[in-house]
Amino acid sequence: MTEITVSAERLSHWFGQGETRKQALFDVSLALPRGSFTVLMGPSGSGKTTVLTLLGCLRAVQAGSVRLLGHELHGAPEPHLVALRRRLGFIFQMHNLHESLTAAQNVIMGLQVHPGVPDATARAAAAQVLGLVGLSDRIDYLPANLSGGQKQRVAVARALVGNPALVLADEPTAALDKDTAAGVVDLLKRMGAARGTTTLLVTHDNRILDRADRILTLEDGRIVKVEDRA
């Protein structure tokens, strides 16, 4: 039996209160095996981001169940969610790098969230991961001095440096040109495979689909299609 990194069972979600209350997810169920690379597709407003934030402990589960790394998220207290988040890697549409920190320092922030990592170890790890994403010569650059693709690669390095069990990426290539986008996704796929990381990637980008093990399609808050590619 394959190990499941994260699973959702009849997950529903509502936004707003009273009159304006609106259901965004309807009984979504899914399971991501360890080391898999899953793409979540669907039109804008279909609920992709909502799924991602629920699996990533960024929102409280309202109805249904999410099991992440063996922990039930429904009803879990906030400090518990914060602790679980440290075992995840997030990549956002915008790189969200800290403008005052160099590439290396931004990556170190991804590691320092784990207590007790010695300074020297953190530096070495940051340099190594930046090397893997091809930025060895940009280690001490501030984000302002990096191109869009380079910044997103630093963000990938930051998400991966702590060896996360699950990487959640929401349209990480939206702000990049075609070639750069393909490069970033290949990087994610390659590094995930090498480390046994489970990856869930939200995208509109058709060129990415052929890299997926599995494609989930969401429409109006429901999973309407599951395609296995592996």
Partner 1 sequence: MSRLLQRLFGRLPVGWLQLTHNRTRFFAALAGVAFANVLVFVQLGIMNSMSSAAVRPYAFFSADIMISAHDANTLSDGANVARQWLYQALADPEVAEGMGLYVTNVPWDRGMTDISLTTFGVDPFQPQFLTGTLGPDAGFLQLRDAALLDRLARGFNRADAAGISPATPLSFETERRTLTAWTTFAGGGGFGSDGYMFVSDQTFLRLFPARRAAAPDHILLRVTPGADVAAVVTRLKATLSDPGLRIRSFADAKAEDLRYQQTRRPTGVVFGFGVLIGVLVGLVIVYQVLSSDVADHLREYATFKAMGYRPSFFLGVVFEEALVLGVLGFIPGMIFGGGILTLMGKVTTLPLRMTPDMALSVFLGTVLFSALSGAIATRRLAAADPADLF
Ligand X SMILES: Nc1ncnc2c1ncn2[C@@H]1O[C@H](COP(=O)(O)OP(=O)(O)O)[C@@H](O)[C@H]1O
Question: Which of 24, 107, 161, 201 forms a contact with ligand X (CB under 6 A)?
Answer: 24
User: How far, in Å, CA of 44 to CA of 76, rounded?
Assistant: 29
Instruction: Spell out the residues 6+ positions from residue 47 whose beta carbon is closer than 8 angstroms to its own.
Output: 13, 24, 25, 28, 218, 220, 221
Question: Which of 1, 44, 77, 118 forms a contact with ligand X (CB under 6 A)?
Answer: 44
Residue 45 C-beta: closest distance to Mg ion, Å: 8
Residue 42 binding ligand X, by CB under 6 A: yes
Query: Which of 60, 29, 56 has the alpha carbon at shortest distance from 166?
Result: 56
Query: Which of 76, 57, 72, 66 has the alpha carbon at shortest distance from 28?
Result: 66
Residue 42: contacted member of ligand X, partner 1, Mg ion, none (CB under 5 to 8 Å, by partner type): ligand X
Question: Which of 67, 86, 211, 222 forms a contact with partner 1 (CB under 8 A)?
Answer: 86
Residues between 12 and 71 that touch partner 1 (CB under 8 A):
49, 52-53, 56, 58-59
State how far the alpha carbon of 185 is from the alpha carbons of 39, 62, 200, in Å.
11, 32, 12
In this structure, what are the phi and psi dihedrals at residue 177, rounded to the nearest 5 degrees?
-75, 165
User: How far, in Å, CA of 196 to CA of 167, rounded?
Assistant: 11
Residue 199 C-beta: closest distance to partner 1, Å: 16
Residue 14: contacted member of ligand X, partner 1, Mg ion, none (CB under 5 to 8 Å, by partner type): none
Question: Which of 12, 49, 62, 180 forms a contact with Mg ion (CB under 5 A)?
Answer: 49
Coil, strand or helix at 9: strand
User: How far, in Å, CA of 24 to CA of 146, rounded?
Assistant: 37
Catalog residues that contact ligand X under the rule CB under 6 A.
15-16, 24, 42, 44-50
Catalog residues that contact Mg ion under the rule CB under 5 A.
49
Catalog residues that contact partner 1 under the rule CB under 8 A.
49, 52-53, 56, 58-59, 79, 82-88, 90, 92-94, 96-101, 105, 108-110, 112-113, 119, 170
